[in-house]
Structure 1
Amino acid sequence: MMFVVNRHINYTDICVAKCPLCAFNNREGYLLSPEEILRKVREVDGITEVHIVGGHNPEVGVEYFEEVFRRIKREKPEVVIKALTATEVYYYAKKEKMSIREFLSRLKDAGLQAMPGGGAEILVDSVRRKISPNKCSSDEWLRVMKIAHELGIKSNATMLFGHVEEIRHRAIHLYRLRKLQEKTGGFVSFIPLVYHPENNPLGKIVREKTNPVDILKTIAVSRIALDNFRSVRAYWVMLGEKLTEVALRFGANDIDGTVVEEKVTHAAGAETPAGLTVERLVEICRSAGKRVGQRDTFCNILKWYA
């Protein structure tokens, strides 16, 4: 079982997409400065990864991200920068009147090494029109990831489930990810994300989270369907610590990391801590009867715990 010492940083909550499934956008109306982001990176001892995502902020452009990434790399060259979902990349490239390849190439030159898997939601457009109508299409999400992989930028992939989708939509989603992975080999981890209905418009239709049995079945099927991914993650922020431990017996082999400051899921109603210590992450994995390793962003083990 694996975890990473990381920190989540949400650079802005301003987002013109205003997805019905989201409770995070425009809660405070902020945009962090590059110095504020760098200060947050400095706060975590032993950090190996910084996870930077936000919204679709019309006041932000490519130069902002270039400055952020370069400043992090100048001071913390050993820290892997994993930043911007495919939907953010699509939005900002279009806003800057740049191709996806040019936009990502500039960010790679500035220090971008990997991308998170967010914004995938369900890769079926009939579902996306209901839950994230102003984000890029499923084909566009996959195209961004394909280009990133061609440029040598590894990525994760997510699936947000337990809302208005059907089981067949989940199957289509997994199939499309598997087929792209067969072509590029650029995906590292798959993260099934549980929809939280609190505090967002979609919650007026979907009033309860899906049940633990459905969650465990989804993780197990994902492990079988995506055997060409290095890890399937039990994301403790969304599952809670107890269910995360059980999920490690149902196909998950990764529980994410220290996280430190998760805002998006907590805005939607998650009641888990904002972050966990290394000691607690090791304890969760050990409780599942598994050998525990601290990994880097690309699932290479840096340290084993006896």
Structure 2
Amino acid sequence: MASLLDGAAAGKRLSAEEAVMLHDEAPLGALGLAAHRRRLQLCDPRTATYVIDRNISLTNVCEAQCRFCAFHVQPGSPDAFVLTVEEVIQKVEDAGKRGATQVMIQGGLNPQLNLAFYEQILRAIKRQCNLWVHSLSPAEVAYLADGAGLSLPQCLSRLREAGLDSLPGGGAEILVDAVRQRVSPYKISAGRWLAVMEAAHGLGMSTTATMVYGLGETPAQRIQHMLAIRELQDRTSGFTAFIPWSCQTNRTGIDQRPSTGVDYLRMVALSRLVLDNMPHLQAGWVTEGPDVAQLALSFGADDFGGVLMEEKVVRATGVQYAITAGQVIELIRKAGYTPAQRTTRYEIIATVSETSGGTK
């Protein structure tokens, strides 16, 4: 076990069997130390980054009916809502005034919202606000492409021309169809999720990748998910970051033992070692809480993620962590790093001085 961890910490590629062994048998402390050593090699050892952004839930109507989602409603529900273009712009403008550099629009699979509607919103954002638009998961892109009768590259090209800058990695869950058919049977397959990302990378658009664990999957299926992303990254180098987080089962159709902070730290460390070609690893305070996310910075993560304004999807499960930029800065500093605000593409905007708390 020690030699396997030493090799992984030095960048030796893990096989599926070796990764499962680490998942099941590696002591947490040793696993975390190996991941931290790898993080120090791949990323600036002095800094940990964060981004100021806003999540905008465009609608809660979604045909996917994922069992783990407590936010969606069916078309025709009296609780359904759809924001107008004007309402979206108001939220984006407010985010810009509060220091955001990125907005993420989440829309779900709403049959009333077509490609032209999203193009209208994207153009309005770029015309009036010009923030970076990191929006539309692969499931949403595929849904819009199918509705418009377009190929994935054609749909993405139109979205990019309208103002879409990059794609978030949402909707990945576990990239194993046996799992997906059980928890999200109406969502795109694992292969199509990967195809959307490969098409985006082919157009020069960067994306992130995610994993939601705790859906009843096996350790081998978790590793299969990571290896699918690693293989695509080998071909395209288009992923900027990987973000694992635990399924929040409250108010959902998932009947599983809730994951613990220890489970999360193990997944973060394992992600750093298995995904040897992934530049950045993000800590998930939205689901795990700020304190566990801070610990993740010593288990392989190098980024604290977004200082989110208006996150609603996770909150629908009853998990309601909130955090400010000042709190993120302090958490990073207490973890032993210099806080640095970044762009979506991980370009450093400013580091935060220790004495004044200001940027430089």
- Residue 151 of structure 2 is matched in structure 1 by 99
TM-score by length of 2: 0.82
**Which structure has the larger Rg over C-alpha atoms?**
2
Distance 1:240 1:248 in 2: 13
The letter for the 2-side match of 1:123 is L
When structure 1 is superposed on structure 2, of 9-18 and 284-293 the one drifting more is 284-293
Aligned residues: 300
Give CA-to-partner distance per residue, 1:89-134, whole Å, 9 cap, x none: 1111112211111111000001111000000000000011111110
Do the aligned residues in 2 keep the contact of 1:174 with 1:225 (CA within 8 Å)?
Answer: yes
1:166 to 218, 221, 229: 218
Could you tell me which residue of structure 1 aligns to residue 26 of structure 2?
A: none
Residue 221 of structure 1 aligns to a residue in which SS?
helix
Q: Deviations over 1:29-54 (max 9, x none)?
A: 11111111110011122211001112
Amino acid at match of 2:82: L
Instruction: Determine the structure 2 residue equivalent to 1:56.
Output: 109
What pairs with 1:1-306 in structure 2 (closer than 5 Å)?
Answer: 1-26=48-73, 28-44=79-95, 45-77=98-130, 79-202=131-254, 205-206=255-256, 208-273=257-322, 276-306=323-353
Separation (CA, whole Å) in 2 of partners of 1:223 and 1:302: 25
Q: Distance in 1 between matches of 2:318 and 2:222?
A: 23
- CA deviations on 1:265-284 (whole Å, 9 max, x unpaired) are 111221312xx321111011
Q: Give unmatched runs, 5+ long, in structure 1.
A: none
Tell me, in whole angstroms, the C-alpha distance in 1 between the residues paired with 2:153 and 2:91. Answer: 29
Residue 69 of structure 1 aligns to a residue in which SS?
Answer: helix
- Report the secondary structure of 1:114's partner residue: coil
The 8 Å contact of residues 230 and 299 in structure 1, kept in 2 or not, is answered as no
Q: Which segments of structure 1 move beyond 4 Å, counting only runs of 4 or more?
A: none
Deviations 1:67-102 (A, max 9, x none): 11111111122x110110001111111122111111
Q: Which amino acid aligns with 1:133?
A: P
CA contact 1:197–1:269 (8 Å) conserved in 2: no
Tell me, yes or no, if the aligned pair for 2:139 and 2:171 is still in contact at 8 Å: yes
Structure 1 counterpart SS, 2:309: coil
Counterpart of 1:36, as a letter, is: E
Q: Distance in 2 between matches of 1:165 and 1:287?
A: 35
Q: Which amino acid aligns with 2:170?
A: G
Query: Matched residues, percent identical?
Result: 39
User: C-alpha distance in 1, partners of 2:258/2:117?
Assistant: 36
- Partner Cα separation in structure 2 for residue 115 and residue 220 of structure 1: 24
Q: Tell me the amino acid that sits aligned with residue 13 of structure 1.
A: N
Q: In 1, Cα distance between the equivalents of 2:54 and 2:160?
A: 20
Where 1:191 maps in the other structure, the secondary structure is strand
* Coordinate RMSD, CA, aligned: 1.1
By how many angstroms is 1:193 displaced? 1.6
Q: Provide structure 2 residue ranges, at least 5 long, that are not aligned to the other structure.
A: 1-47, 354-360
Amino acid at match of 1:33: T
Greater shift, 2-11 or 264-273, is seen at 264-273
d(CA) in 1 for partners of 2:99, 2:321 = 23
Q: Give the deviation of 1:227 after TM superposition.
A: 2.7
SS at match of 1:113: coil
SS at match of 1:264: coil
* Equivalent pair of 2:314/2:320 in contact (CA under 8 Å): no
TM-score by length of 1: 0.96
C-alpha contact 1:257 1:281 (8 A) present in aligned 2: no
